[in-house]
Structure formats: C-alpha cells, structure tokens
Amino acid sequence: MGKFLYAPEIAKLGHVALVSADLEKSLSFFRDTIGLEETEVVDGVHYLRAWGDFEHHTLSIKAGSTSYIDHIGWRTKRREDVATFAKLLEDAGTEVRWIQAGEEVAQGEAIRFELPSGHRFELYYDMEKTPADESRKSVLKNQTYKSWAKGVSPRRIDHVNLQTSHDNAEIVKYLQEALGFKLREYFVNPDDVQVASWLSVTNLVHDVAIMSTPRSKEPNEMHHIAYWLDNSQDLLRAADILCEADVQFVGPGKHGISQAMYIYVKDPGSGLRLEIFTNGYLIFEPDWEPIKWTYEEYLKNGSAYWGDRRRDDVDRDAQVKELLRS
C-alpha cells in the first residue's frame, strides 16, 4: 500500500438514498406497511431506519420527477479510512467528490464516486446515532426502538443488489481491488461467463450482489435493497401483513445461494424492489474459496431452492427470470 501503514477497510453497508416519483406512496409503504421508523424530515428528505438500526438512517427518501437510487452509503472502519480511500481511488483514476460534514443530515465528511457501471457509492465514518424519542424507545439498552411496533418490522438493513448491463467480472474486480470486497458465490451463463456475483466485507454471504443482464436498459440500475428479519416465522408473518395490505409479492421461498429465505415486494411509489430476508449462513473462514454455480445448477437450486420454484419443474428458466427481472 505504499506509504500507508494499513489498508483502508469498509465496515458495513450504511444506507440507501432513494428518489421517488411518488413520495407519499413510498412513505406509506416503507413507514406503515414495512414499518421503518422515521428519524426526521429535513428539507423534504425523509430519513428512516429499522428498529434495530443504530445510525441516524439506513434509508432516505425524497421526491423526484423520476425514481432512482442517488447513492449507496458504506461506513469505513476508521475515520482516516475515508481520506485514504479517496487517495487510492484518485491514484487509480476514479473521480472522487468530497461531501462536507452536514451536507447529508447527521453525517460527517464523506466521499462519493462511481463504479465502472455508474453506480454511485459513498464512504463515510462519522454518523450520528440518534436516540429514539421516549414514546418509541425500547426498554432494552442495546436496541433503538420498540420491536414489532408496526408493519413487517424488520430489524436492520442487510444488503443491496445492483443490476447492470455492464461486464460482471469487471465490476467484481473493482470491488475487490479498490474497495476490499471478497467474492463469496457466483454463477455463470451457458457460455461459462460470470453474470452474477455475491460479495461482502462482513461475515455475511453478501453485503452487495451484482446482476449483469441484457434486460438492463442502463448500466447502473438497482435490482433490490434488503432488510433483515430475525427468523422464518417473522417472514411468514410478513406475508400475512402484505396480504392484508393488498400488496403483491413473490415468495416466501429459499435461495440456494446464501441459503436465506426471502420475500420480494415492490414499493408502489418508486418501483424499487425490496427483499425481506432471513436465515442463511455466515462465513468465518479466512481462506474461503468463491463458490461457482453453473447455469444448470443455478436454475435447479441456486436461485429458488424451494418456495417459488415451479412444482412441476417445467420452466425453471422462466422462474429465474421472474426473480431477476426489473
């Protein structure tokens, strides 16, 4: 690393900044149906988090003429890592923009830059851990809000899944070499070309996934964001809540990759897909070797291990497209 005494590191996924073409519908969905707590509203931007999230926000929503993801925030392990990443990224030819403290509410100094696909990432360290007001505060000192206060009520943000028309291997290489992500699982198409990858900086199977598909109209689309539920019973409860709200969804089912259970549901305001996510496995081995799935293996067990896969197994390819479509 040259003159640097240590390699800068990303600690975890921090937040997603959503712009919605129908703000009221998005707020109704995320606040009331999903049950995220609103921290505050500043200059038309609504800041939300799950009941177990400690930082000021894990999702922000503001109105726009169209819907899109403005940026995805990642917290570094050390305050000085932000500047170190900036230096390394610039030396490697990445254009970096500095975000001054307070420019994003409750957040300290940060940098923003784009992946080769055009997805905009933000790196920061300082973020206020805003306490909940007394009416919503948990009696548990190690928890922010009362759990199960409303809606689906996920515990925390979990991961993001980026969709792109860009070369998958190139984005994965950038995430690995520039940002320190580790490749955990991936699958290839019938021509043995890598088209989907799951990477992490934590013990999770993925903090970020990359899906490359010709169905993407742009190289920097979002497939979904995910919030975590504690167990499978919570996921079944979520299905009931979504049915009562007359919201269509895909699932419940279980992925082979990650071994996690899921429900996919779309925000009616922005069209953003949300995955409600639970179970799965953790990775502790320092010498983990990325797991490769062939196209046939992925169709059979990788995406929908059970749940949404067709009972007669006639058209698994169509089912995979259903799970991956925009």
Question: Which pLDDT value is given to residue 299?
Answer: 86
Cβ count near 267 (within 10 Å): 24
Indicate if the pLDDT at residue 310 is higher than 60: no
Indicate if the pLDDT at residue 151 is higher than 50: yes
Indicate if the pLDDT at residue 220 is higher than 80: yes
Question: Which pLDDT value is given to residue 5?
Answer: 63
Question: Which pLDDT value is given to residue 1?
Answer: 45
Rg over alpha carbons for the chain, rounded to the nearest Å, is: 19
Predicted model pTM: 0.92
Question: Which pLDDT value is given to residue 4?
Answer: 54
Instruction: Quick: pLDDT tens for 85-130.
Output: 999 999 999 999 999 999 999 999 999 999 999 999 999 999 999 9
pLDDT (mean) for 10-35: 98
Read off the tokens for 91: 């030396």
Indicate if the pLDDT at residue 311 is higher than 50: no
Question: Which pLDDT value is given to residue 95?
Answer: 97
Percent of the chain scoring above 90 in pLDDT: 87
Label residue 252 by pLDDT band (50, 70, 90): very high
* Strand segments (E) across 23-88: 37-42, 45-49, 59-63, 68-76
d(CA 267, CA 231): 23
Mean of per-residue pLDDT scores for the chain: 92
Of 312 and 220, more confident: 220
- Cα–Cα distances (Å) from 120 to 3, 165, 217, 224, 271, in that order, read 28, 15, 17, 15, 19
Domains belonging to the chain, first-starting first, are: 10-124 (3.10.180.10), 156-324 (3.10.180.10)
Question: Which pLDDT value is given to residue 313?
Answer: 40
Closest to 220 in 3D by CA, of 263, 293, 165: 165
Label residue 211 by pLDDT band (50, 70, 90): very high
